Structure 1
């Protein structure tokens, strides 16, 4: 199957991104490996890559060899201990590939995707979950507990790890070592250890009880199923993840002002 050709502008941008990822000597080997013509006399790496890509497309009227070159440069093994940078590069390359209906994922393989028709469509591919949460000013604790999962756009484990982080923070603040519903009831019961307001008026007590119920809901709905169901049967979409993580971010903000009123 022939991969569709890129436009001149798309080839330039792709060449610039890939040029930053290889040394000059490595570039020579990779171009040779994929039988792409290398104009070594050109002054910059990205121009050598662009020239090789353009020559290939003009001759073959497809982008198959270009796609193979992309996979070579972005082979996951080349990015051990550079996970954050790797996923950023994947996002940028996928944004370009999306114009011809492809994307590259963290396994280093290229897959079909919905073709981007506009710049906004392509930008959405580069705008990963972490960036969206940053734009929403999500609480710093969200990133503390699930940064690797966020960088990989792993919605399932982002929710799982962030929920674990929320309950760990409650343990740290309260000194209670239990977990789940039992932890919430001990810490936020009618004889609470932590309070999120003055806990004097009835409306304050009702708010405190409501917060306790939110925590129980998060534990019951978004944590326990994760622990007992296989990933393939408990799907979490990007929208689901953003809304769940937003709820957890709210809980962390309320914990920022929590007071410990008794010692256990």
Structure 2
């Protein structure tokens, strides 16, 4: 006997809004008519003056009201999330994470090939955020140093990439202070503890060859560059002026992890 698959239940209006807001970040206004065409809901005159998410929302809501099920929402998600529409894997993953956070409350998720599949529904904000964002899974896959995660665990839970980078960068300075007993912060602390010119308290090798001295100087510059590029601007500039994407956060956290591993194996001098 063949099984009959029941159509998906209509999505609540609040879920439709949140999903459409996330989808709208990945589309342009001129693309919307083609994206909603399969729903067979013509847009009223003047709709192009509305926000993108509202145009998507109106089409889905109208189709849901006519059909009495949630097929329209899932079809729109499938149309927008076709991998071929994205310019890079990172752009696709950023959008997939944002849309999944809203979809999970209704028991659906986007797979890595862009298809929508049923899953266990999320019941809390924290659960939806954790399951939707694969940044932590990727950090785990890369074997990121536990001291990095210790400093920014709360920010990762909130998908707050701006403060994730800020807090993680503090972990390098903290380890330098713990290893040497020195005070200070940022580039000044790096100079006091790692600069060859000062007879480094923290040496990343024996410093007996030109190559080793070059490596020491390179790691010093990486630490100072980390503070100058990420910690200092993000500590003093408003968040809206210092946006940190998921892909940037992933790269910076990986760099910070490497610095921690080098500090763990460094040669300490009194």
Work out the CA distance in 1 between the residues paired with 2:100 and 2:221. 41
Runs of 5+ unmatched residues, structure 2 = 1-6, 13-63, 71-97, 120-127
Work out the CA distance in 2 between the residues paired with 1:223 and 1:248. 12
TM-score under structure 1 normalisation?
0.56
Other-structure match for 2:136: 130
Are the aligned partners of 1:199 and 1:208 in contact in 2 as well (CA < 8 Å)?
yes
Are the aligned partners of 1:99 and 1:117 in contact in 2 as well (CA < 8 Å)?
no
- 1:216 paired with 2:224, answer yes
Other-structure match for 2:8: 7
Are the aligned partners of 1:184 and 1:215 in contact in 2 as well (CA < 8 Å)?
yes
Work out the CA distance in 1 between the residues paired with 2:139 and 2:266. 23
CA apart distance, 1:91? 9.7
- How many residues align? The count is 171
- 1:146 paired with 2:147, answer no
Other-structure match for 1:187: 193
Other-structure match for 1:172: 178
Are the aligned partners of 2:8 and 2:69 in contact in 1 as well (CA < 8 Å)?
no
Match of 1:61 among 64, 68, 73: 68
CA apart distance, 1:97? 5.4
Other-structure match for 2:255: 247
Aligned residue runs from structure 1 range 19-58, under 5 A = none
CA apart distance, 1:165? 1.2
TM-score under structure 2 normalisation?
0.55
CA apart distance, 1:237? 0.4
Are the aligned partners of 1:187 and 1:194 in contact in 2 as well (CA < 8 Å)?
yes
CA apart distance, 1:141? 0.8
CA apart distance, 1:96? 3.1
Secondary structure class of the residue paired with 1:176 = coil
Cα RMSD (Å) of the superposition? 3.6
Runs of 5+ unmatched residues, structure 1 = 1-5, 12-56, 64-89, 103-115
Work out the CA distance in 2 between the residues paired with 1:100 and 1:119. 7
Q: Deviation per CA, 1:164-196, whole angstroms, max 9, x where unpaired?
A: 111111111111111111100001112100101
Work out the CA distance in 2 between the residues paired with 1:91 and 1:253. 35
Other-structure match for 1:162: 168
Other-structure match for 1:118: 115
Work out the CA distance in 2 between the residues paired with 1:62 and 1:224. 51
